[in-house]
Structure 1
Amino acid sequence: MTTRVDLLPRRALPVLRLAAFVAVLASFAVFFAGAQQAHAAPACGVLSSGAAPQANSAVNAACSLIGTPYSWGGGHGSQPGPSYGICDASNGAPNDCHVKGLDCSGMVRYAYDLAVGTDVINGVTTTQWNSSRAVARFYRGDGTGPLLPGDLVFFGNTPSTIHHVAIYLGQGYIAEAPYSGGYVQVAALSSHGDYYGAIRLYGPGGNPGPPGGGRYWVDTFANASVYGSPTSTNSTGTLYQGTNYVFCKAWGREIRNGSSFNHWWLKTDPDVGPAGQWVSAYYLSKWGNDEAKDNNGTVIPDC
């Protein structure tokens, strides 16, 4: 007996092929949706540990501003906070005088004001970068490994062309006021190709830079190179031999000559170079290995 095999009508084949094609498209859609979700920015918040309480508070304050409109010049009134910006088509802001919001430097200014209750980082981006309140300073060559939540990260190819600032959240992410027409958002630091460097306003111990930290007078026995951080190897200026003031100390890379050495670094304003740099306590005239005291013998406090 012959077994009967029922074949599909020829007219059904195109329908099946179409269904299979749709199924393949759906699988690709699921794949790419999953890939996009895997690379989506995280929820705004403190994404790593080690920062000062004030810095963590600044991150949380910045996160509370998510969705605030960008306004070029916004946030630079007599008091921190959203304000109407400047209409300037040449700077990509043709309508910003009608938008109440914050620009990038206005946003970080307001976030820190909300966090610590005082206006600690006023000014435009280049002014903020040069702030003498910085207790640590990092550069592109240092990488992003040393960064902590609350650090202010700057973008530009040179100090004079810095054009953008944001607050570091941790794990490679920032909170920023991005551009005219945009809103305060979370983004990857790597989404900007011209990261220049960063400053820290409060050390892990919570101590601020000047004027809150006070000054300690020390004698140095030679002209000394200064650096942007206690671990940096790129000199940023010079502190001349003599009596100088410092603000606080941090543990860093060793400076050694024979049996003389020191791991302590002192935050100071050098004679040559930007304010808020670091000099090795090796150059102190009155003290020995791994000591960091002022001329009166007072131990210089941690930053």
Structure 2
Amino acid sequence: MTTRVNPLSRRLIAPLRWAALLSLLVSVGVFFAGAGAAQAAPACGVLSAGAASQANDAVRSACGLIGTPYSWGGGHGSKPGPTYGLCDSANGAPNDCNVRGLDCSGMVRYAYYLAVGEDVINGTTRTQWPTSRAVARYHRADGTAPLLPGDLVFFGNTASTIHHVAMYLGQGWIVEAPYSGGYVRVAALSSHGDYYGAVRLYGSSTTPPQPGGGKYWVDTFANAPVFGSPTSTAGTGTLYQGTNYVYCKTWGREVSSGGSFNHWWLRTDPDVGPSGQWVSAFYLSRWGNDTAKDNNGTVIPNC
């Protein structure tokens, strides 16, 4: 026996099926549209607070490079800035000697040069990672919570296999020169699965410890001039030779003589001049180049 369907029922069921299908398609579209919106990159800029002014300026400089072509080996001339790269098919760069641009390490080098007027982070990714200019260093185990804008974030499973560097913007975002054929862009840090660690080149924007805070005792081998800032060249007083106390350190201009040099500056109260001045760690008696420790060997904390 054949069951017959009322023609009126057919006319009612068909629109209902189409309505259900349309509703499903709309739901799927909304879902994927929502997912896309959640992953949309923000405008390039300083996305969180707390970084040093030099680091914030470096972020702004890097953002000004958005759209610059990637070029394998680009940016590694005698001065920072875009250059023609290397043609290297083995590294996915068959035409980069014909492309004027920046690779990842050349991009961060140039951004900091534009920001501070000094070539502070020359080299490739693997030589940038161990830089002695770091005022702070973080590893994968530290997570990303300590990161501040301007930090250089490195990718690779080990120190010897680091292969990429980018600049942190804040809130989980980076600016990077990604790969041959690409352009400087904003991306999610999480888009790289092998985050290794980060380097900070300038101290945070928090106020340095003031007189009355923790003191670190150091010996100086000569009377040392003091200055109002780690970059100033106008002396403000003198710290006498002998045992003195300092509060903290920050990176600044180089003081050198012969083969000895130091970029660290120590906040102190001099014997002559106002309190809260800066003396070069070059004058420490017990330590070598770019080292800033107290007499017990304790690393003096960053300001």
Q: TM-score, normalised by structure 1?
A: 0.67
Q: Which residue does the alignment assign to 1:91?
A: 91
> How many Å separate the matches in 2 of 1:18 and 1:191?
39
Q: Which range moves more in the overlay, 95-104 or 197-206?
A: 197-206
CA contact (8 A) 2:73 2:102 kept: yes
> How many Å separate the matches in 1 of 2:296 and 2:84?
50
> What is the aligned length?
235
TM superposition shift of 1:276:
6.9
Q: 1:152 to 1:137 in 2, by over 3 A?
A: same
Unmatched tracts of structure 1, length 5 or more: 1-6, 220-244, 251-266, 269-274, 286-290, 293-299
Q: Which residue does the alignment assign to 1:118?
A: 118
Secondary structure of the 1:247 match is strand
Instruction: Look up the equivalent residue of 2:296 and give its one-letter code.
Output: Y
Q: TM-score, normalised by structure 2?
A: 0.67
> How many Å separate the matches in 2 of 1:83 and 1:154?
22
TM superposition shift of 1:18:
2.8
Matched, 1:165 2:200: no
Secondary structure of the 1:119 match is coil
CA contact (8 A) 1:218 1:246 kept: no
Secondary structure of the 2:60 match is helix
Instruction: Look up the equivalent residue of 2:264 and give its one-letter code.
Output: F
Secondary structure of the 1:26 match is helix
Q: 1:34 to 1:276 in 2, by over 3 A?
A: farther
Instruction: Look up the equivalent residue of 1:88 and give its one-letter code.
Output: D
1:1-303 matched pairs, under 5 angstroms = 8=8, 10=10, 13-205=13-205, 247-248=264-265, 281=294, 283=296, 303=303
Unmatched tracts of structure 2, length 5 or more: 1-6, 209-229, 234-238, 244-261, 268-280, 283-288
TM superposition shift of 1:112:
0.6
CA contact (8 A) 2:84 2:96 kept: yes
> How many Å separate the matches in 1 of 2:162 and 2:34?
36
How large is the RMSD of aligned CA atoms in angstroms?
A: 3.6
> How many Å separate the matches in 1 of 2:128 and 2:290?
12
Secondary structure of the 1:154 match is strand
> How many Å separate the matches in 2 of 1:10 and 1:102?
65
